[in-house]
């Protein structure tokens, strides 16, 4: 369809011409549709070869092309058309050619009745004679990889031969016969399809079974006049073009159970016709084109009439040009191209053939191209070979530009891989078109894509937009690197934003996003400063100016603007750049931004800005906000930091506390000495702050009046007692008692709380006779009980102290009576101790003590019985904490003799290493003598100390 005029940007004569041609036919409009394919004649050796011969068939492999001629020759060509090899295979016209999938072998058949298979890379050649003209051949796709060397062929005899190499030689098997000549054979994977006069049959070579039969379309020309065409689109789709009919058959696979009942066998016996349609032209060739089809169409002449199925154009020079049509499976035509083939006037439908390039995993019979591959189609006539291939991105772009569709051309450039020159051309033409249409914003948005990395192009368009006074719309798209423009371009752009209030927000975002090194800030500052304090000075422009001051290092000017703009991060800005001197004139703004951060800042730097200056600035701004609340917060924090720093404003603080923080007023009154008591009292009276009145009256010396306020207005006798206690005035106690005598409840409370302050008997004696005091009995009981409790606690504490002293003395005494056993078998004794009683900590502690004793005994200490020096290497020793030490044998003998003298049965002795009493012990108080006796351990004591004690 023709593009709309608004899309290609054309005006004037073209538009009027369209209006004048509204009655053009639909066929003429369809001619403007973009072609799907582009064409070129095959050059190289082909023109020379066809001067004296005529092409009859063609086959295409992945690396080469084979062209058969009427003289029986088979030419091997490259894709340009240069001849690589030639086979003199036959003595008559070559009817069909076929490659295997590897492109190593080529098979051909001819009217001379022979089938020849040649190796393209060796001298291997096989020839088979069938003695009747052979019309079709198909090699096994795996012909080169398998030793069976299978192929299928057929001809006028009506037999379909399946040739297989066996151990005794090549053998032919007749797959089918008796239904007329075989016109075409195609082999894909394990499926073989052929067409005869009756229709199309499909055979499964893997399972040796015939799958289906598709009947010849009714009314189609005789096969000898118009050949049927078969092509495998993939392993399961067979495309059939016959006469004016197209059918697409899908061959499915069924799973059948094998003879054993266990193993499944695949059987391809499910065939569905998934698409079918009729054409108005003869089909001279058909091939897949993605999800569509490419059809080589032969248009019948007018003299043929409507019934072209029974007639064929003659050689009278009036045939029409063949057409290549791209159609869908529903016969929707996507593109139609007429081919100017040499001598087309004299050709019949069967004189043309169509082949397409095979792809990986497929034979020339069909296949889809992989990603990145392009299908090639070869239209063969007797004297010409035309190559058709899909139009690429550059072809598409050129066509769009020719028709004025700049936007679509740009989209194609972005999606395709066009040459850089083509991209520049599209971009330049598109931008010019948009400028003419006054679509400045759209043109600006496309500049990054169209101008890309060309600094000169960018600068040219920047100044062009500036000349048109449309530079602000281009600024967001200007690059700051790759490429980097001259600083003048950036300065011109920023000044253009600054002089237009509508773009002040864009100016701010641009300054924040652009690196400051790419332009000079002074020209922009000079352009903005004259607007200060004018109606055109917006908040966005102020912030932009502050950013420029910041870039230029003028921090104080930037701070002043940030403070006026109430920026929350101004406090961080102050700390970062040490601008504490600059806050002197911006107290009110800082308090309004964030008083919680401003107040500590002002207090910390009160040497730079005094409390008087802070208060005066806040008072000057009383019309802008609630000044008194900020004054309260500031003076309160100042008082907490230094009670004397704001002493001149303590009178003001009393009123501020009374209004904003009544709970803190009383602590303030108690802490401060710099407020006027009379003024403070008046404020408290006006606001009925009773406790504050009591405190002020007390400080003024009016204790009795303060006491009267507590009793008469507060009615809190406990607070009255506390107040009187703090005054330390006996007369005030008298006053308290007098004022309470008329109030029985207060007398009772007074009795409860005077313990420790007054003698309760004194109060009782002053109570008038007959005065009924509520709960008097309970309160008297409580007074007596409290007294008894206090006395009991004192006696109990004394008893506990005495008991602790006695227990500690006993523990010390018992520790002093313990003994320590020392011997050479220290390791064995340690192991026994670990198993029986002592903990690891006790062992470590006593080991240290043992080493101390050893050091003393090695120094010349003598046994207290025999007075011989100790020899720690040979004799065991027992030492006591009284500093007496004995040989073990001497101590045991002395113990026995003392026992005999006292006429006591001697205690049975144990070897020293078995005496638990001599083991290393921690001296715990829990192991007393009674426990040792109950365990049967020997009561070993120091001989000298025991004797002395006795």
Q: Give pLDDT tens digits for 900-944.
A: 776 555 444 444 444 433 333 434 444 444 544 444 445 567 777
Q: What pLDDT, on the 0 to 100 scale, is given for residue 365?
A: 37
- Identify the residue with better confidence: 812 or 712: 812
Q: What pLDDT, on the 0 to 100 scale, is given for residue 688?
A: 85
Report the b/e string of 167-188 with b at 16+ CB within 10 A.
eeeeeeeebbeeebbbbbbbbb
Q: How many beta carbons lie within 10 A of that of residue 95, not counting itself? A: 23
Q: What pLDDT, on the 0 to 100 scale, is given for residue 97?
A: 95
Q: How many beta carbons lie within 10 A of that of residue 23, not counting itself? A: 5
Q: What pLDDT, on the 0 to 100 scale, is given for residue 709?
A: 80
User: Longest Cα pair distance anywhere in the chain, in angstroms?
Assistant: 166
pLDDT reading at 784 higher than 80: no
Q: Which residues contact 942 (CB under 8 A, 6 or more apart)?
A: 817, 819, 880, 882, 884
844-887 pLDDT per residue, tens: 444 434 444 443 444 357 888 888 887 655 678 888 877 788 88
pLDDT reading at 335 higher than 90: no
Residue 186: which region, alpha, beta or left (left: phi > 0; alpha: psi -120 to 50)? beta
Q: How far apart are CA 570 and CA 592, in angstroms?
A: 12
Q: How far apart are CA 89 and CA 866, in angstroms?
A: 137
Q: Which three-class secondary structure state does DSSP give residue 453? A: coil
Q: Which residues contact 170 (CB under 8 A, 6 or more apart)?
A: 126, 128, 149, 163, 164
Q: How far apart are CA 275 and CA 214, in angstroms?
A: 13
pLDDT reading at 842 higher than 60: no
Alpha carbon 551 to its chain's center = 34
Q: Which helix (H) or strand (E) holds 801?
A: helix 776-816
Mean pLDDT of 510-523: 92
Q: How far apart are CA 472 and CA 480, in angstroms?
A: 16
Q: Which three-class secondary structure state does DSSP give residue 577? A: helix
Q: How far apart are CA 910 and CA 191, in angstroms?
A: 108
202-217 pLDDT per residue, tens: 999 988 888 889 999 8
CB 284 within 8 A of CB 319: no
Mean of all residue pLDDT scores within the chain: 79
Provide the whole-model pTM: 0.50
Q: Which two tokens stand for residue 68?
A: 């058969």
Mean pLDDT of 321-328: 92
> By mean pLDDT, which of 18-22, 733-737, 807-811 is the weakest?
18-22
pLDDT reading at 370 higher than 90: no
Q: What pLDDT, on the 0 to 100 scale, is given for residue 414?
A: 72
> By mean pLDDT, which of 230-234, 268-272, 327-331 is the weakest?
268-272
Q: Which helix (H) or strand (E) holds 760?
A: helix 760-766
Q: How far is CA 871 from CA 45, 395, 466, 908, in A?
A: 124, 117, 114, 27
Q: Which residues contact 449 (CB under 8 A, 6 or more apart)?
A: 410, 414, 427
* Whether CATH 2.130.10.10 fits 39-379: yes
Q: How far is CA 874 from CA 716, 833, 848, 859, in A?
A: 87, 22, 21, 16
Q: How far is CA 823 from CA 854, 868, 871, 908, 918, in A?
A: 10, 17, 10, 21, 11
Mean pLDDT of 622-627: 76
Q: What pLDDT, on the 0 to 100 scale, is given for residue 260?
A: 44
Side by side, the strands of the sheet bearing 333-338 are 282-289, 292-298, 323-327, 333-338
Side by side, the strands of the sheet bearing 73-77 are 55-60, 65-69, 73-77, 83-88
Alpha carbon 585 to its chain's center = 48
> By mean pLDDT, which of 350-354, 432-436, 470-474 is the weakest?
432-436
Q: Which two tokens stand for residue 431?
A: 């931008």
CB 68 within 8 A of CB 97: yes
Mean pLDDT of 150-172: 92
Q: Which helix (H) or strand (E) holds 388?
A: strand 384-390
Nearest to 670 by CA among 642, 691, 646: 691
Mean pLDDT of 332-357: 88
Mean pLDDT of 694-708: 79
CB 116 within 8 A of CB 126: yes
Q: How far apart are CA 448 and CA 746, in angstroms?
A: 92
Q: CA 591, 595, 601 angle in degrees (round to 5)?
A: 85
Q: Which two tokens stand for residue 282?
A: 């003869």
Q: How many beta carbons lie within 10 A of that of residue 757, not counting itself? A: 12
- Identify the residue with better confidence: 713 or 324: 324
SS (H, E, C) 723-750: HHHHHCCHHHHHHHHHHHHCCHHHHHHH
Portion of the chain with pLDDT greater than 70, in percent:
76
Q: Which two tokens stand for residue 788?
A: 């008894």
Q: How far is CA 784 from CA 747, 762, 777, 779, in A?
A: 17, 15, 11, 9
pLDDT tier, 358 (very low <50, low <70, confident <90, very high otherwise)? low
């Amino acid at each position: 369809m023709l593009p709309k005029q608004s899309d290609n940007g054309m005006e004037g004569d073209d538009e009027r011409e369209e209006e004048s041609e509204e009655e053009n036919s639909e066929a003429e409009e369809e001619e403007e549709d973009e072609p799907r394919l582009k064409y070129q004649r095959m050059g190289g050796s082909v023109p020379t070869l066809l001067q004296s011969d005529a092409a009859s068939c063609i086959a295409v492999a992945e690396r080469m092309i084979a062209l058969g001629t009427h003289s029986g020759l088979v030419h091997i060509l490259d894709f340009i058309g240069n001849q690589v090899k030639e086979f003199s295979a036959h003595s008559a016209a070559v009817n069909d050619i076929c490659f295997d999938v590897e492109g190593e072998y080529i098979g051909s058949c001819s009217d001379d009745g022979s089938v020849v298979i040649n190796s393209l890379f060796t001298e291997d050649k096989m020839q088979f004679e069938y003695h009747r003209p052979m019309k079709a051949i198909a090699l096994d796709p795996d012909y080169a990889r398998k030793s069976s060397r299978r192929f299928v062929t057929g001809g006028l005899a009506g037999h379909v031969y399946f040739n297989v190499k066996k151990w005794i030689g090549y053998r032919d098997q007749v797959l089918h016969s008796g239904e007329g000549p075989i016109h075409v054979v195609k082999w894909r994977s394990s499926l073989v399809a052929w067409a005869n006069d009756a229709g199309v049959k499909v055979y499964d070579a893997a399972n040796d079974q015939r799958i289906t039969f598709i009947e010849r379309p009714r009314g189609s020309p005789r096969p000898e006049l118009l050949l049927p065409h078969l092509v495998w689109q993939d392993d399961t789709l067979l495309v059939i073009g016959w006469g004016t009919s197209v059918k697409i058959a899908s061959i499915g696979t069924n799973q059948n159970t094998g003879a054993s009942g266990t193993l499944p066998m695949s059987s391809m016996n499910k065939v569905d016709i998934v698409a079918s349609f009729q054409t108005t032209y003869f089909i001279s060739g058909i091939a897949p084109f993605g999800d569509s089809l490419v059809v080589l169409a032969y248009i019948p002449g007018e003299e043929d009439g409507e019934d072209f199925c029974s007639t064929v154009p003659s050689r009278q020079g009036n045939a029409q040009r063949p057409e290549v049509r791209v159609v869908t499976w529903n016969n929707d035509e996507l593109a139609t191209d007429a081919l100017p083939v040499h001598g087309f006037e004299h050709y019949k439908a069967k004189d043309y053939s169509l082949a397409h390039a095979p792809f990986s995993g497929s034979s020339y019979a069909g296949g889809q191209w992989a990603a990145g591959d392009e299908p090639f189609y070869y239209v063969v006539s007797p004297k010409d070979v035309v190559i058709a291939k899909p139009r690429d991105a550059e072809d598409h772009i050129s066509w769009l530009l020719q028709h004025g569709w700049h936007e679509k051309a740009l989209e194609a450039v972005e999606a395709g891989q066009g040459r850089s020159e083509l991209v520049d051309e599209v971009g330049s033409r598109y931008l010019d078109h948009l400028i003419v249409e006054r679509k400045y914003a759209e043109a600006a948005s496309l500049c990054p894509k169209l101008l890309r990395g060309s600094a000169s192009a960018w600068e040219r368009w920047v100044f062009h937009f500036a000349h048109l006074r449309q530079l602000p719309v281009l600024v967001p798209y200007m690059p700051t690197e790759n490429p980097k423009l001259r600083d003048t371009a950036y300065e011109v752009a920023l000044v253009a934003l600054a002089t237009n209030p509508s773009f002040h927000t864009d100016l701010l975002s641009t300054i924040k996003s652009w690196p400051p090194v790419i332009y000079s800030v002074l020209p922009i500052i000079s352009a903005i400063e004259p607007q200060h304090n004018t109606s055109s000075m917006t908040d966005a422009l102020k912030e932009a100016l502050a950013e420029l001051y910041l870039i230029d290092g003028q921090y104080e000017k930037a701070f002043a603007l940030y403070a006026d703009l109430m920026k929350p991060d101004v406090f961080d800005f102050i700390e970062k750049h040490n601008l504490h001197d600059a806050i002197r004139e911006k107290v009110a703004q800082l308090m309004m931004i964030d008083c919680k951060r401003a107040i500590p800042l002002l207090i910390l730097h009160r040497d730079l800005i005094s409390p008087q200056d802070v208060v005066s600035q806040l008072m000057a701004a009383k019309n802008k906000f609630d000044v008194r609340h900020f004054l309260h917060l500031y003076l309160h924090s100042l008082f907490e930091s230094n009670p004397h720093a704001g002493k001149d404003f303590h009178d003001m603080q009393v009123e501020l506390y009374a209004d904003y923080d009544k709970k803190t007023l009383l602590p303030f009154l108690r802490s401060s000495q710099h407020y006027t008591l009379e003024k403070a009292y008046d404020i408290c009276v006006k606001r009925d702050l009773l406790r504050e009145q009591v405190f002020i009256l007390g400080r003024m010396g009016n204790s009795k009046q303060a006491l009267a306020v507590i009793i008469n207005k507060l009615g809190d006798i406990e607070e009255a007692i506390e107040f009187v206690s703090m005054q330390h005035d006996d007369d005030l106690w008298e006053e308290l008692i007098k004022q309470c005598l008329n109030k029985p409840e207060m007398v009772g409370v007074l009795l409860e709380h005077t313990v420790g302050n007054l003698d309760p008997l004194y109060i009782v004696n002053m109570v008038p006779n007959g005065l009924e005091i509520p709960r008097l009995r309970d309160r008297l009981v409580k007074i007596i009980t409290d007294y008894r409790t206090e006395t009991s606690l004192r006696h109990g504490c004394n008893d506990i102290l005495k008991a602790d002293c006695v227990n500690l003395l006993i523990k010390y005494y018992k520790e002093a009576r313990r003994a320590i056993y020392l011997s050479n078998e220290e390791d064995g004794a340690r192991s026994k101790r670990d198993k029986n009683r002592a903990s690891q900590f006790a062992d470590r502690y006593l080991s240290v003590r043992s080493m101390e004793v050893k050091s003393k005994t090695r120094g010349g200490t003598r046994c207290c019985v025999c007075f011989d020096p100790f020899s720690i290497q040979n004799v065991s020793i027992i030492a006591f904490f009284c500093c007496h030490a004995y040989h073990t044998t001497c101590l045991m003998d002395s113990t026995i003799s003392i026992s005999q003298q006292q006429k006591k049965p001697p205690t049975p002795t144990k070897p020293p290493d078995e005496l638990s009493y001599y083991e290393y012990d921690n001296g715990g108080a829990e192991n007393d003598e009674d426990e040792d006796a109950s365990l049967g351990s020997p009561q070993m004591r120091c001989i000298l100390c025991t004797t002395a004690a006795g």
